[in-house]
Amino acid sequence: MGGVGAVGGYLRIGAGLVALTVIAAIGLSACDNDGGEDPIRSEPYRIGAVEVNGDAEREEWAFGDEHISRWTNAALEDSDRGISQKKEGMEMRVVIHHRVRLVDVGSGARLVIDVDARAQRSVVNSEDPMVTIRADAQYRHLLARGRPADGVLHALSRTLGRQAVDDVVHQLRLRARIRQSDTAELASWIEDDQIDDSVRRYAIRRALIYTPDGLEEALVNVTHDADDEVAPKAARALVEMESDDAPRAAMRVAQRLSRDEEYDRFLQMLPLLAELDEPWVEIYLETVAEAHSIRRVRSRARSVMAGE
């Protein structure tokens, strides 16, 4: 997931107030199915069509495909950066899928709204690269006073459905901008700790596809970052690029994860360390296998060293 936030408060519906807690989970993913020799800097993307489909457990709760289409077009008109309905460029179509459902939780209920978006190249022939960008958002609304009336659920779904659409279009736009970046701009995306972690990880994946010169310094800098989501990705990228800085960068990340007791992520780093042909890295793995305080870590280190 890209990020999680919680907000408590009241929503006014007519003359009444509905107590609610909003938990918004935004998950972001992307697919780079690029064929041919697509350059590091892609051409601009123009949205030629928006397609919408969805479902709800009850029609009374749904906000309708027509609302999704209107919200999506409004979000696209908000900016020409990355993806646009106005500029010339590679024609893309946006497909939006939405779902509304209610889940019983103890004496209350949770309204769940999912919005998935995909921007895909409209016309592809055998010589054109395939381009697909994806983003998704899920909002979970915990209703504090049991199951409200259908009208309340409808108002809630419309209010936060609009926000979910804005979120996914914004994330599609960020990914499009990353794809349209040159090497220096891509380095800035990778190092920017003010943006969502998933966006930085996407920029790192983009770097791995084309491995342009000039990105190793940015990746090394990120391994100094305390963020446990992004730093391991940067370390892996350096290893895959066969950078001279890869061993120390990967070791730096692994040691920090172990020190911070982030053992699940630390375990994921052990196979990466085993790929490094450095005697001092091997000594470190042997030490972990024999002396680490956590049994499952010791066991995994032994398995990695045995090639399992």
H helices present in the chain, as ranges: 65-77, 150-179, 183-191, 197-210, 216-223, 231-240, 246-259, 263-274, 279-291, 295-305
Q: Assign 59 a pLDDT band (cuts: 50, 70, 90).
A: confident
CA atoms lying within 13 Å on the CB side of residue 14? 6
Whether 196 and 108 map to the same domain: the answer is no
By percentage, how much of the chain surpasses pLDDT 70?
81
Whether 188 and 129 map to the same domain: the answer is no
**pTM of structure:** 0.76
Q: Assign 222 a pLDDT band (cuts: 50, 70, 90).
A: very high
Token pair for residue 41?
């800097």
Q: Assign 127 a pLDDT band (cuts: 50, 70, 90).
A: low
Output the pLDDT for position 115.
92
Q: Is the pLDDT of residue 105 over 90?
A: no
Whether 171 and 198 map to the same domain: the answer is no
Q: Is the pLDDT of residue 1 over 50?
A: no
Query: In terms of residue numbers, what domain contains 38?
Result: 3-179
Number of structural domains found in the chain: 2
Last residue of a domain, one of 132, 160, 179: 179
Whether 118 and 191 map to the same domain: the answer is no
Q: Is the pLDDT of residue 21 over 60?
A: no
Q: Assign 146 a pLDDT band (cuts: 50, 70, 90).
A: low
pLDDT in tens, 185-199: 889 999 998 888 888
Whether 204 and 173 map to the same domain: the answer is no
Whether 272 and 259 map to the same domain: the answer is yes
- Among 2, 30, 53, smallest CA distance to 134 is for 30
Whether 72 and 205 map to the same domain: the answer is no
Q: Assign 273 a pLDDT band (cuts: 50, 70, 90).
A: very high
Whether 259 and 221 map to the same domain: the answer is yes
Output the pLDDT for position 128.
64
Output the pLDDT for position 244.
92
Q: Is the pLDDT of residue 210 over 80?
A: no
Q: Assign 293 a pLDDT band (cuts: 50, 70, 90).
A: very high
Whether 134 and 27 map to the same domain: the answer is yes
Last residue of a domain, one of 121, 149, 179: 179
Chain mean pLDDT for the chain:
81
Whether 220 and 162 map to the same domain: the answer is no
- Mean pLDDT for 129-156 is 81
Q: Is the pLDDT of residue 41 over 80?
A: no
Output the pLDDT for position 34.
38
Residue 71 is given by DSSP the state H
Q: Assign 247 a pLDDT band (cuts: 50, 70, 90).
A: very high
Output the pLDDT for position 22.
43
Last residue of a domain, one of 125, 153, 179: 179
Q: Are 16 and 57 in contact (CB under 8 A)?
A: no
Q: Is the pLDDT of residue 28 over 80?
A: no
Whether 81 and 114 map to the same domain: the answer is yes
Whether 201 and 226 map to the same domain: the answer is yes
